[in-house]
Structure formats: C-alpha cells, structure tokens
C-alpha cells in the first residue's frame, strides 16, 4: 500500500530578556534589543514536505507544474521587564513588568517545477505583531524569500532520499534598524541573508526518519541612521546561524500521519557599530524547539497540516502553532 508522510521542521530565534533603566539603556541592553528585533520567522518557521511512492520517481514537483500553499503561523514570546528608578545612586522604585510579544504570520508560497528534480519556491509573508508592555501593533509585509530545491537522485524504495536547497531572503519587511524602537515594531529582519543546506529521509515502513543541516550567512547593513540610547547606530553585522533538525513521522493510516521533530539553531554574535566608533556585541544564542505535526490527506494530492511547537531554551519562543493548506490553482495551468 502506498504510504505518505508530511514532515514539519520549525525554528525560531528570539532575543533574551530586555532590561530597561529609567535614565538610559545600557550598552548591553542595546545589543540584546537588536538581537531580539531579528525576524522571529527567520529560522524560523520552515515547513518541508516529503512525499514517497512505490515506483521510482522524484518527490519534487514535476516539470511545468505549479502549486500554491497558504500558511498561518503564531508564536508567543514571554519575558519579564525590569524597571528601576535610580536617584543619586539610590534605588527609589523597583518594578517587574510582564512583557510578551505575539506574532501572527499569514504566508503564501508558490512552487514551480523547473525540472522533475528542480523546484523553485517564493514565499510572501504578511505579518501582524503585538507587544503587550507598550501596547504596540504593526501590520505589514514581511521578508520575501526565494528557495531552490534540487533532488540529485530519483527516489528508490528502501534507499535514502536526499534534497539540497538554497534560500535568498530579502529585506522587504519593516527593518528594526530604521524605526523608532520605542514606538514601532518591525516586520522583517532588516538585512539580506543566504541559506544553504541538505536534508535526508528514509522510509522504514510505516515510519520515515529524516534530518536536515543548514547554514545561514547574514549580510551586514551599513549607512544606518537610527537613534539608540542617546547614540546613533550606523552599521549592523548580524551573526551567522547553523541549524540542525531531526525527527520521524509515523503513518497512522492511509490518510493521517503524525510527525515529531526537534530543531537546534546556533547564532553567532551580532555587532552594532555607532557613529562615535563604539561597538556593542551581543552574546551567542542557542534556540531549541520540539515540534508535533499532524498531516491529513484530503485528496490524492492534497495534505492539510497542523503543528504545535514548544521552546526549550531562553532564546526560543514559548509556544508556536501553525496551519498549512494547499490552494487549488488548476485555472493557472497551461492547457
């Protein structure tokens, strides 16, 4: 009996807690805030579908075929903000305020089969952010990305399947380095990045095991003009990221599959350069999440997927949930 599985690998990066002083934020606070403003959907949030068949073929879209997928993602990041009022070296007021950021992302992904083993994808996100401590809201376009996936070998039953991929992420969203950080929220990372990696999977009927390894190189942003803590930010050199994910998917029936996976991402330090030549450097960060996804077949070629994930480290979001739905675009196909 032909079997299929759907695998979701989700990762998000977020910064550590923010400390606010009454007079002026410290240099370490500025660096941490810059890291926290990076796009949560960055590492985030990546869904990969792996299909298997009994006959020898490729698992990517066939040449000339198109597909459109709608995705909804929600992430919650909770923290504690420390407010301290210092007068003449004495603490006059001390308060701990809960702080949380809610991020809702609606995305549309268009896939096109260039060859039977080569597929190009374009993802357009629409982001809504809400921060509780300052009651800030932002609705805008996120960072558009383009991904190329290549499967060098045709799928052979009983053998591992390999896919190589590369992604270019633009800075079409609202940059965190070009806004008033006290009154506005970003919808993008604020810089270009290039990612490359490989994934592998193998069917051990009725289970499929999979793994993925990727690296992201972030391009520096110069000619900035943003006021931060009484200084002027002129350049940002974001840290590079190395990500690893692994898991398995189990076919509960012909129409339902359950997947469990985890993702670990390590991001190098980010360097902020100010007008006076002073530099602030963030600490390295480690994000780890565990994810559960359920795939339901609604037709021979369509799968609806829901997922839920939980952060395991301080640099990870607390909760993530999402939904992926294919959209019928038969009318766009060539006759």
pLDDT at res. 155: 83
> pLDDT digit string (tens) for 80-113?
665 555 556 565 555 556 678 999 999 999 999 9
Checking if the pLDDT of 2 tops 50, the result is no
**Residue 180, CB-side half-sphere exposure with 13 Å CA sphere:** 5
Name which residue leads in pLDDT, 47 or 93: 93
pTM for the structure as a whole? 0.79
pLDDT for the residue 99: 76
pLDDT at 227 over 60: yes
CATH number corresponding to 7-332: 2.40.160.40
pLDDT at 156: 84
* Residue 133 pLDDT greater than 90, yes or no: no
**Residue 254 gets which letter from DSSP?**
S
pLDDT tens string 12-35: 333 333 333 333 334 444 444 544
Could you tell me which of 236, 216, 214 has the C-alpha nearest to residue 225? 236
Least confident of 8-22, 140-154, 183-197, 261-275: 8-22
In the three-class reduction of DSSP (H, G, I as helix; E, B as strand; rest coil), residue 28 is classed as helix
pLDDT at 94: 52
In the DSSP assignment, the letter for residue 57 is B
What pLDDT is recorded for position 78? 84
Long-range contacts of 156-161 (CB under 8 A, 24+ apart): 156/56, 157/54, 157/56, 157/203, 158/203, 159/202, 160/200, 160/201, 160/202, 161/50, 161/52, 161/59, 161/200, 161/201, 161/202
CA-CA distance, 168 to 121, in Å (whole number)? 11
- The stretch 234-256 carries a mean pLDDT of 94
In angstroms, the Cα distances linking 193 to 91, 128, 166 are 43, 22, 11
Query: 25 φ, ψ to 5°?
Result: -70, 140
What contacts 224, CB < 8 A, 6 or more positions away? 177, 178, 233, 234, 235, 236
Average pLDDT, the chain: 81
More confident residue, 156 or 332: 156
Q: Which of 79-88, 190-199, 236-245 has the lowest mean pLDDT?
A: 79-88
pLDDT of residue 161: 93
Residue 124 burial (CB < 10 Å; 0-12/13-18/19+)?
A: middle
Query: For the ranges 47-51, 210-214, 287-291, which has the lowest average pLDDT?
Result: 47-51
Least confident of 17-26, 129-138, 213-222: 17-26
Which pLDDT belongs to residue 85? 55
Output 121 or 39, whichever has higher pLDDT. Answer: 121
Mean pLDDT for the stretch of residues 148-157? 91
Distance CA 192, CA 240 (A): 12
- The per-residue pLDDT for 199 is 96
């Amino acid at each position: 009996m032909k079997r299929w599985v759907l695998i979701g690998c989700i990762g998000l990066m977020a910064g550590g807690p923010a400390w606010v002083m009454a007079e002026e934020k410290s240099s370490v606070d500025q660096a941490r805030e810059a890291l926290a403003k990076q796009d949560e959907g960055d590492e985030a949030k990546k869904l990969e579908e792996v299909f298997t068949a009994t006959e020898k073929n490729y698992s990517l879209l066939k040449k000339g075929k198109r597909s459109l997928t709608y995705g909804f993602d929600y992430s919650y990041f909770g923290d504690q903000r420390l407010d301290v009022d210092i007068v003449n070296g004495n603490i006059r007021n001390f308060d701990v305020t809960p702080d949380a950021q809610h991020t809702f992302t609606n995305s549309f992904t268009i896939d096109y089969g260039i060859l039977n083993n080569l597929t190009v994808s374009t993802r357009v996100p629409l982001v809504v952010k809400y921060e509780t401590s300052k009651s800030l809201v932002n609705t805008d376009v996120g960072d558009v990305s383009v991904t190329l996936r290549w499967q060098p070998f045709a799928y052979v039953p009983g053998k591992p399947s390999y896919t190589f991929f590369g992604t270019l992420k633009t800075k079409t969203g609202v940059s965190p380095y070009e806004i008033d950080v006290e009154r506005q929220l970003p919808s993008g990372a604020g810089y270009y990045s290039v990612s490359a990696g490989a994934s592998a999977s193998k069917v051990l009927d009725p289970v499929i095991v999979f793994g993925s390894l990727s690296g992201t190189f972030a391009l520096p942003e110069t000619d900035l003009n943003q006021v931060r803590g009484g200084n002027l930010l002129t350049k940002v050199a974001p840290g590079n990221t190395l990500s690893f994910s692994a898991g398995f998917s189990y076919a509960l029936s012909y129409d339902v599959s359950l997947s469990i996976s985890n993702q670990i991402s390590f991001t190098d330090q980010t360097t902020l350069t100010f007008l006076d030549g002073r530099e602030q450097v963030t600490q390295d960060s480690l994000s780890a999440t565990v994810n559960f996804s359920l795939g339901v077949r609604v037709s021979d070629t369509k799968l609806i997927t829901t997922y839920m994930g939980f952060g395991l480290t301080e640099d990870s979001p607390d909760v993530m949930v999402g939904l992926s739905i294919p959209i019928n675009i038969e009318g766009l196909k060539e006759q």
